[in-house]
Amino acid sequence: MTFKTVLAAAGLLLASVATHADVALLMRPDVQRYIDEQVASGELTRAELETVFANVEPKPNIIAIMDKPSTARPWYQFRPNFYSDKLMQEGVTFWQQNEATLQRAAETYRVAPEIIVAIIGIETRYGRNTGSFRLADALTTLAFDYPRRADFFRAELTEFFRLARSENVNALSLKGSYAGAMGLPQFMPSSYRKWAVDFDGDGHKDIWNNPVDAIGSVANYFREHGWLGGDDVVIPAELAPGTVPDELAADKFNLHYTVAELKARGVLPQAPVRDDALAVLVPLEVAPGVTRYWLGLNNFYTITRYNKSTLYAMVAHELSQEMRARFLQARMAASQGSVN
């Protein structure tokens, strides 16, 4: 079903009669308080919200999944799941099929095509795996039955309802990941509302089925989070004897130090880099008991805004570089073939 077909369906309401849902959910005091708060905001109606909640099916298995993130593994186990010939070839094919759009995104947002291609590949294998959970089910489960992050997911649930209304989409028809991420780039509802773009100008920000909008949205996200066109992402580093890396790497998702300050504390860059550049020390266990170090620069930090994991950021960077090399090789081979 295309996004336009979904748009042609009824708006936020599905039906006033719950079928396979847990109707008791609607009567929970915390759900009723949430409904009251949203109605008071003036952006959603009680009828809209009660219809959705009456049809929601809680998914308790999601809670167990949430407590076992894939990025908890060491680098040498995490990397092979993404850095594969199959994914890289799929990335080259996606790039070839969307070359004009990727080039336009690069010119518009000053974000390298290769990082956009790598991100969409990691997230959904270019749309093959966008998630099978109804987003209303997943977000409601996490908003009301996952205390550790309930505030975050209630905010995302609210953004989801507003997204459905603004796009005139049936809230119970949209699907995504167990954590509520959506479409080819796996945006959370708040990210969609802030950074998704209608890159093909058809009046809809369709990141589910339209690679043009997905490409533009990822590029816009990266620009808005500080991507610097033409800058490096990471450079290798070594530690001087006596350097204590744990303190320097502890706050790995923020840029507290300049390269000069890190040098003064024993971090030795193994490639040219400006002393005034902001950087973070990135330790990765490349084999059991073997750790190597990199300096993550501004663009590395930007990738961690997309997914708060240094493993994710590093594999996205490595994939992007290999995909670019393969794309250019394929283009050269095709050019030589046409000349011959």
Catalytic positions: 123
Distance (Å, rounded) from C-alpha 196 to C-alpha 265? 41
Q: How many CB atoms lie within 10 A of CB 331?
A: 14
In this structure, are residues 259 and 231 in contact, taking their beta carbons and an 8 Å threshold? no
d(CA 133, CA 26): 20
Q: Can you tell me the distance from the alpha carbon of 87 to that of 268, in angstroms, rounded to the nearest whole number?
A: 33
DSSP conformation letters of 87-151: HHHHHHHHHHHTHHHHHHHHHHH---HHHHHHHHHHHHTTTT----EEHHHHHHHHHHH-GGGHH
Return the H-helix or E-strand segment holding 324. Answer: helix 310-339
* Neighbour count for residue 231 (Cβ, 10 Å): 14
* Alpha carbon separation from 209 to 86, 213, 288 (Å, rounded): 22, 9, 41
Distance CA 79, CA 71 (A): 10
Strands (E), the chain: 133-134, 175-176, 234-239, 257-258, 267-269, 278-287, 290-296
End-to-end CA distance of the chain: 43
Tell me how crowded residue 198 is: count the other CB atoms within 10 A of its CB: 15
